Amino acid sequence: MNLRALQFFLVIAIAPFINAALLSGALSSGAIYSLDFVDIDGNKLSTADGHVTVLVLATTAEREKVHVVGERVPDFCLGNPNYRMITIVRFTSRHTAIGRRIATGLVKHRVNEAARRLQGRYDANKISRDARKDIFTVLDFDGSVSSQLDDSAQAAPFRVLVFARDGKLLAQWTDVPSAKQLADVLKESR
């Protein structure tokens, strides 16, 4: 077999792996990312603004997974201004302006329900703070928000990412992390 044929077969054999790595645009643990969002309450948020951030990307169908992640956030993060959880709700179908208003209203209603549940946890931990002010939800109707995360956001509809105060990506999962996994990463970030 001549050298040119060997080179051709080598390129053909590894091309799928190279393409997957180059095209996925996946975020790399240890790299710093300054991703900016505006939530449903008008708060401007960033992954590099001095907070340790648990970022959850989910479609509307995965809201139970979002609740589980929230329940697994350790108590030392609750009401602590150094920590926060941001949920990005990615809509998979197109919405008209009226549809967006209806969807936004529905999400706000669900966020208020979640705040009532979280307030119970705050009360049990003697945290005298309005839990609703600690819930950050970003709506992504057109994919522009989730596209900041990477090109593979379409392939992984559910993701959990933890960013340090400076935006350094500490950990990421494509499913709900265990309470221990999440706590271990958040303890590291102290």
- Mean pLDDT lowest among 9-13, 60-64, 182-186: 9-13
Whether the per-residue pLDDT at 152 is higher than 90: the answer is no
This prediction's pTM: 0.84
Question: If you average pLDDT over residues 154-166, what whole number do you get?
Answer: 88
Q: In which band, very low, low, confident or very high, does the pLDDT at 25 lie, cut at 50, 70 and 90?
A: low
Pairwise CA distance, residues 115 & 130, whole Å: 8
Any idea where the domains of the chain sit in the sequence?
Answer: 28-188
Q: Phi-psi bin for 167: left (phi > 0), alpha (psi -120 to 50), beta?
A: left
The matching CATH number, chosen from 3.40.30.10, 3.40.1280.10, 3.40.50.10490, 3.90.600.10, for 28-188 is 3.40.30.10
* DSSP-assigned letters across all residues of 115-162: HHHHHHHHHHTT--S-GGGGEEEEEESSSTTGGGT-GGGGT-S-EEEE
**Residue 22 burial class via C-beta count within 10 angstroms: exposed 0-12, middle 13-18, buried 19 and up:** exposed
N- to C-terminal Cα separation, the chain: 58
Pairwise CA distance, residues 110 & 63, whole Å: 10
Q: In which band, very low, low, confident or very high, does the pLDDT at 12 lie, cut at 50, 70 and 90?
A: very low
The length of the chain, given as a count of residues: 190
Pairwise CA distance, residues 163 & 173, whole Å: 12
Paired residues of 44 in beta bridges: 38
**To the nearest whole percent, how much of the chain has pLDDT over 90?**
75
Pairwise CA distance, residues 5 & 26, whole Å: 33
List Cβ neighbours of 13 (8 Å cut-off, separation of 6 or more): none
